[in-house]
Amino acid sequence: MTMGGANRLGQGIEAMQGKASLTPSKGRKSPLRFGWWLIFWAGVLYFFLPLLGTFVFSMKSIPLFSAYVGVLQDPKFYGSLGYSFIVGIITIAVSIGLMVPTAFWVRLRMPRARPYVEFVTLMPFVIPPVVLVFGLISTYSHAPLPFTWTDMGSTALLTFGYVVLSFPYMYRAVDTGLRSMDVQSLTEAAQSLGAGWFRILFFVILPNLRVALLSGAFLTLAIVVGEFTMALFLARPAFGPYLANLGSTKPYEQAAVALISFGLTWIAMGFIALLGRGSRSRITVTGAH
Amino acid sequence: MPVNAQGAPKARPGRRRFSLTWLGLVPFLVFSTLFLLIPTFYLIVGSFLDSTGQFTLQNYAGLTKEIPLNAYKTSIEISLVTALAGGLFGFLMAYAVISAGPRRFRSGLMTFSGVASNFAGVPLALAFIFTIGRAGLLTGLLAGLGINPYDNGFSLYSKLGLEIVYFYFQLPLMILIIAPAIDGLKVEWREASENMGAQSWQFWRYVALPVLMPSLLGSMILLFGNAFGAQATAYQLTGGFINLVTILIGNQLTGDVLHNTGAGYALAMGMVGILAMTLIAYQFLQRRSERWLR
C-alpha cells in the first residue's frame, strides 16, 4: 500500500519532470524550474499541514467521528451559526441598500463627491475592527443613544459595525460594476419610459450588478461568520466567540468546528470564484483577522 | 464652516438643483456619520482630554511608557517580519505558478489563496495549536524523531510562533495582490532583452524588478497593515497574554488596564495614525505601478 503510493508519487514526479523538459519555457534552464517547484510544494505543505493537524486532533475523540456527531447535536452550534448567518444576511442587505444608490448617484449626478465618498469607504482600512468596536462602544454605551443597554441594540450595533467593515470592497465592487455599463443611457432610457428612481435602481441597475453584488455578498458572509473581535467585545452569541470558548470543555469538538468553519469559507469563496469566471473584475480584500 | 456652506452655492447658478442633488447621498452620509465618523471622532476628542475633561497632550506622551511602547514595538516588528517574508515568498510562489506552472494550477492557486487569506482569526490559531502546539501533530512527529521543538526553545505562543501563524494569511494575500502585476510583465520585454543579449539577471535587474518594484512595495505595505490590525488570531493563540497594540486596546476596552480612558483612546489613535500612513504610501505606490502595468 505504502509502496504503491510512493511508487505512484515517483511516477508523478517523473511525469512532471518529463513534461517540464519537453516544454522548456523560452529556453530557461531546468535547475531554476526545479527551484520554483520546490517553493511551490513547500507552500502547499505549509498550507495543508495545519488542516491535517486539526483533522487528526478531531479524530482522537473516541469512537471515530464522535467529535463531529457531538457538534451536530449541539444546539449552541446551530444557535451561534444561525445568529452569525442572520447578522450576515442583514449586513449584506443594509450594505447593498446603502452602496448601490450611493455609487449610482455619485456616478450619475455627483462626480464631485467621489473623492469624499471614496475616502469614507476606505476608512475601515485605517480603523481596524478592534478600534471601530472601541469607538462604537464608547459612543453608544450611554445617552443619548444607548445601543449597548439592550440585546437588540447590541446586535444592531454589531450589524452596523459589520456594514462599515464591508464598505471598502462593497463600494469598489459596485463601482466597478457600474463602470462596465452605460449608467447614463440606461437611466435616461428608463426615465423616458416613465420609470421613477426606485424602479430604475431596482429593475435596471440592480440586475446589471448581479455578479458584483453576489461576490461582495459571499465575501461579507464569510467575514461576518468568522468574525471574532467585534462580537466578543459586544458580548454577542456569535459563531466566532462560540468556537473560541468551546476548547475549555470540548477540545475535540473545537477542532471539528474549526474545520467546519474552514469548509464554510471554502464554500463562500468557491461561489465567488464561480461567479468571477468570465468577468474581469475581481475583489481581493480580506477581512477581520 | 457655516460661511463656506452658505458661500459655495451662491458661486454657482442653479442653487436649488445643487441642494436637491445632495439628497441622494443623505442615507450614506447619515449612516457613515453615525457608525464610522462619530465613533472615530469620539476617540480623537477623548484622546486629547484628561479625566476632568480638560485639554491635554499627556495621553499621547503616555504612549512612551513601557507597556504601550513595547506593544507598538512588538506589533510593528511582527507586521514588518510577516510583510517582508510573506511578500517575498508570496511573490516567488505566484511567479513560480504563473510563469512556470501549468495553466490550470493558476486558477487553483488563486481560489485557494482567496480561501486561505480569509482563513484567519480563531480557527487559524486553533489549526496551528493542533499542529505545532505543545501536543500538536507535527510536534509529536518531531519529538518521535528526537527533536522536540519545545525542548529547543521554540514556542508557538511567542512572537516567532505568532509570525509563523500570520504568515499563513499573509502569503496568500500577497499572491492575490501581486498576481496582476506579474501578469503585466510582458513576454515581449524578456524577448527584447534577450535579443539584445541580456543575461537573465540583467533582465531582472534592469527590466522586471524596476517595473515590479512599486507593486511589490505597495503589496508589502498592505500586508503590513493587514498584520498590524489583526487581533483575533493573537488573542486566541496567546489567550490575550502577548503585548500587541490590538490586544492592549482590547484589554483596555474590557478592563481599563492603563487606568486611564484617555490613554486608551490615544493608543487607538496612534494605531490609526500608523495605518493611515501605510494607506497613503500604498496609494502613492499604486499610482506609480499603474504607469507600466495596465
Q: How far is A20 from chain B (nearest CA, A)?
A: 9
- Is the same domain home to B70 and B31? no
**Which residues in chain B show pLDDT less than 50?**
1-15
Interval A169-178 mean pLDDT: 89
Q: What is the DSSP letter of B290?
A: T
Contact A223 B123 (CB under 8 A): no
- Distance between CA atoms of B226 and B166, rounded to whole angstroms? 9
- Is the same domain home to B192 and B249? yes
Selecting from B39, B112, B246 the residue whose C-beta is nearest the C-beta of A130 gives B246
- Distance between CA atoms of A107 and A122, rounded to whole angstroms? 17
- Is the same domain home to B41 and B119? no
More confident residue, B36 or A5: B36
Residue B143 lies in a domain: yes
Q: Which residue of A has its CA nearest to B28?
A: A98
- Say yes or no: B199 contacts chain A, CB-CB below 8 A: no
**CB proximity under 8 Å: B 96-115 to A:** 96-97, 99-101, 107, 110-112, 114-115
pLDDT for the residue A279: 53
Task: State how many domains chain B has.
Answer: 2
pLDDT for the residue A29: 52
pLDDT for the residue B283: 86
In this model, does residue A17 exceed pLDDT 90?
A: no
Q: Count the neighbouring beta carbons within 10 Å of the beta carbon of residue B30.
A: 11
**CB proximity under 8 Å: A 52-81 to B:** 52-54, 56-57
pLDDT for the residue A38: 81
| Domain range summary for chain A, segments of one domain joined by + | 71-276
Interval A154-160 mean pLDDT: 96
- Is the same domain home to B104 and B223? yes
pLDDT for the residue A21: 35
pLDDT > 70 fraction of chain A, expressed in percent and rounded: 84
- Distance between CA atoms of A145 and A127, rounded to whole angstroms? 22
Per-residue pLDDT tens over the stretch A236-273: 999 999 999 998 888 899 999 999 998 988 888 888 87
pLDDT for the residue B201: 86
pLDDT for the residue B18: 55
Contact B229 A128 (CB under 8 A): yes
**CB proximity under 8 Å: A 130-169 to B:** 130-140, 157, 160-161, 163-164, 167
Q: Annotate B133-158 with b (16+ C-beta within 10 A) or e (fewer).
A: beebbbbeebeeeeeebbeeeeebbe
Q: Which amino acid is at A29?
A: K
> How many Å separate Cα A193 from the centre of its chain?
39
More confident residue, A42 or A74: A74
Instruction: Retrieve residue A185's grid coordinates.
Output: 443611457
In this model, does residue A14 exceed pLDDT 80?
A: no
Q: How far is B44 from chain A (nearest CA, A)?
A: 9
Residue B61 lies in a domain: no
Residue B258 lies in a domain: yes
Contact A136 B39 (CB under 8 A): yes
Q: Count the neighbouring beta carbons within 10 Å of the beta carbon of residue B72.
A: 21
pLDDT for the residue A11: 35
pLDDT for the residue B3: 45
pLDDT for the residue B111: 80
- Distance between CA atoms of A265 and A221, rounded to whole angstroms? 9
The label of the residue with cell 480638560 reads B54
Q: Annotate B105-132 with b (16+ C-beta within 10 A) or e (fewer).
A: ebeebbbbbbbbbbbbbbbbbbbbbbbb
Angle separating helix axes A210-226 and A75-108, nearest 10 degrees:
140
Per-residue pLDDT tens over the stretch A204-221: 998 888 888 888 898 899
pLDDT for the residue A180: 84
Interval A173-187 mean pLDDT: 89
> How many Å separate Cα A126 from the centre of its chain?
19
**Host domain of residue B27:** 15-47
pLDDT for the residue A259: 93
- Distance between CA atoms of B168 and A289, rounded to whole angstroms? 11
ipTM score assigned to the predicted complex: 0.86
Instruction: Retrieve residue B288's grid coordinates.
Output: 506609480
- For residue B44, CA distances in Å to A158, B70, B89, B228 come to 21, 22, 38, 20
Contact A117 B28 (CB under 8 A): yes
Q: Which amino acid is at A10?
A: G
Residues in contact with B176: Cβ distance below 8 Å, sequence separation at least 6, in sequence order = A284, B110, B113, B114, B117
- For residue A90, CA distances in Å to A156, A161, A207, A221, B94 come to 10, 12, 20, 10, 36
Listed residue (B156, B127, B237) closest to A54, CA to CA: B127
pLDDT for the residue B119: 82
CATH number of the domain residue B88 falls in: 1.10.3720.10
- Which string of DSSP letters, residue by residue, matches chain A? -HHHHHHHHHHHHHHHHHHHHHS-STT--HHHHHHHHHHHHHHHHHHHHHHHHHHHHHTTSSSTTHHHHHHHT-HHHHHHHHHHHHHHHHHHHHHHHHHHHHHHHHHHT-GGGHHHHHHHHHHHHHS-HHHHHHHHHHHHSSTT--GGGSHHHHHHHHHHHHHHHHHHHHHHHHHHHHHTS-HHHHHHHHHHTT--HHHIIIIIIHHHTHHHHHHHHHHHHHHHHH--HHHHHTT---HHHHHHHHTTT-HHHHHHHHHHHHHHHHHHHHHHHHHHTT-S---------
Bridge-partner residues for B49, per DSSP?
A: B55
More confident residue, A19 or B101: B101
Residue B9 lies in a domain: no
- Is the same domain home to B29 and B115? no
Interval A17-21 mean pLDDT: 36
In this model, does residue A22 exceed pLDDT 50?
A: no
Terminal CA-to-CA distance of chain A, rounded, Å?
41
- Is the same domain home to B213 and B135? yes
B238 with B157: CB under 8 angstroms?
Answer: yes
> How many Å separate Cα A88 from the centre of its chain?
10
The label of the residue with cell 486611564 reads B260
In this model, does residue A50 exceed pLDDT 90?
A: yes
Residue B84 lies in a domain: yes
Contact B31 A167 (CB under 8 A): no
Per-residue pLDDT tens over the stretch A83-141: 999 999 999 999 999 999 999 999 998 889 999 999 999 999 899 999 999 999 999 99
- Distance between CA atoms of B106 and B99, rounded to whole angstroms? 9
Contact B35 A163 (CB under 8 A): yes
Contact B120 A243 (CB under 8 A): no
In this model, does residue A73 exceed pLDDT 60?
A: yes
B246 burial (CB, 10 Å; 0-12 / 13-18 / 19+) is buried
In this model, does residue A4 exceed pLDDT 90?
A: no
- Is the same domain home to B36 and B146? no
- Distance between CA atoms of A55 and A256, rounded to whole angstroms? 7
- Distance between CA atoms of A231 and A225, rounded to whole angstroms? 10
- Say yes or no: A101 contacts chain B, CB-CB below 8 A: yes
pTM value > 0.90: no
- For residue B292, CA distances in Å to A106, A282, B91, B280, B287 come to 29, 20, 18, 20, 10
User: What are the chain B neighbours of A265 within 8 Å (beta carbons)?
Assistant: 115, 118-119
The label of the residue with cell 489583526 reads B230
pLDDT for the residue A15: 37
Pick among 3.40.50.300, 3.20.20.70, 1.10.260.40, 1.10.3720.10: CATH of A71-276: 1.10.3720.10
B60 burial (CB, 10 Å; 0-12 / 13-18 / 19+) is middle
Residue B5 lies in a domain: no
Contact A135 B39 (CB under 8 A): yes
User: What are the chain A neighbours of B204 within 8 Å (beta carbons)?
Assistant: none
Bridge-partner residues for B55, per DSSP?
A: B49
